[in-house]
Amino acid sequence: MRRNKLCKFILSFVLVVGAIVSTAVDWNTTHLFNPAWHPHARFHDALFLLFLDATTLVMLWLLWRRSTEPAVAIKAVALYSAAVWTPFLYIEALIPGTSLLASADVPVLRVAGMVLAPNLIIAIVMIVLTIAGYWLARDASADA
């Protein structure tokens, strides 16, 4: 039971921090209020942020509500988190002309020839925490 709570805490942390960081990083002149962006691109950024914040609240409710099937909520939240964060890993490859970096002067980390943008590092941390949280919950269910 304690491990289940720890897992829910980890997943909640991923949800809340993901929403806060995304909103804080985008709600400024580098993204949402960037005069160089087309108004429709800014509209889509706002749409993403408001959708993310709203669905985060829904996921938190799903995770912590009384339920006879708590494992379903944990699985749904883990899949939701994966859906939010894994696109950071492949969007550039999938859609030509897109970039992880808001501008060319954003410094990146280069490790073994790989370019790691700050948002990519955050996404990787979130994915690792999601996997760890889900795995701990699975292990707790197996023990029960």
Alpha-carbon distance 112 to 130, whole Å?
Answer: 25
139 in contact with another protein (CB under 8 A): yes
102 in contact with another protein (CB under 8 A): yes
115 in contact with another protein (CB under 8 A): no
Give the residue among 54, 62, 66, 47 at the shortest CA–CA distance from 11.
62
- Name the minimum Å distance from CB 24 to another protein: 5
Tokens of 61: 């409710």
127 in contact with another protein (CB under 8 A): no
Question: If binding means CB under 8 A, how many residues of this protein chain bind another protein?
Answer: 30
Backbone angles phi, psi at 76, to 5 degrees: -65, -45
Candidate list 35, 96, 97, 107; residue touching another protein; CB under 8 A: 107
Residue reference for tokens 């919950």: 137
Give yes or no for a contact between 107 and 119, defined as CB atoms under 8 angstroms apart: no
Give the residue among 83, 88, 87, 79 at the shortest CA–CA distance from 134.
79
The contact pattern for another protein, residues 5-44, with x = CB under 8 A and - = no contact, is -x--xx--x---x--xx--xx--xxx--------------
Q: Which residues bind another protein (CB under 8 A)?
A: 2-3, 6, 9-10, 13, 17, 20-21, 24-25, 28-30, 102-103, 105-111, 118, 122, 125, 129, 132, 136, 139
